[in-house]
Structure 1
């Protein structure tokens, strides 16, 4: 079931509506220690979810807009490995008590879409920062003193905003900054491995099969 759901996510393009995996199936996945891959796999689009459907809309950014956005994005490895399941399980447990936080994050996501489509990339960076501060309220293990120190160092060097990708707790830190501040941020985080990357339109693809 996990691979079926992942396959559905990979098939998402833009402007379409898809049936969501049944809640019971997602609950079974979580119970078995597997986390649903749907949100991660289609997160490059504007997504609306209901109990029965996932609606995915392309942001419609032109190549020039994507180029400008790429110029301000940086990705660093925090040197912290973690199991996403342990972080996500606490978030699930806290969800009912943190509904107000989720609603704020939803509002920020809508604002971020508008900022990207209007090429207001600095505003997008600020919204990324606000979203990260809210994300940390979802569970105690989303961040830690090391991650907070890295993030504060990046902001002091010129980063406008950022977040830990995925569940949190470690892994990779995505940052947005003015293009002319990239070298300053890189120098400030020179002790961390940087992963060069760029946004692309092909979506998630298998680049190596371990089987």
Structure 2
């Protein structure tokens, strides 16, 4: 997943040109946004350098919370936005219950201008893989965001990987990385089945969503 996660970070940077304006503490300059995207890329690269969590290190009991950056791009064809946020996913390995979400979004438009982003993405039901899908997980998500005057709605399933292997402790997996995309998205273009729908102001939009985290 290293090439995919790094590539979407670079694609988000490339999609947002121009000069940013610091309108308020909630609105990033382009430079500040680029820094947050690079932070996502660095964290994703660090996690991807870990070996995949082996089946014997996937817990069957206990809970663990994975925290890290998230990246979202939405193209509504008239307006488009790239955003970063803070993700938090809590996994109950005993019953596959998952909770958390993405908050504190920061965004820029297609011209690199900072925008106010409101709302959040919520993580709900989930599934931890077993047998031939051991090391994988899936989590449902939905969100209603505002970017400037535009209303964005998201609904989908993120597919993720457990990464890293501790040599001791009850929770030996160390990190996660997960992604989702609509039809026509970057992830779909890489051959991954679309697993998300997105709208902007009620009209169909193209979106990519990725998050990474460590416990």
Task: Give the TM-score normalised by structure 2.
Answer: 0.25
**Which one has the bigger helix percentage?**
1
Task: Give the TM-score normalised by structure 1.
Answer: 0.25
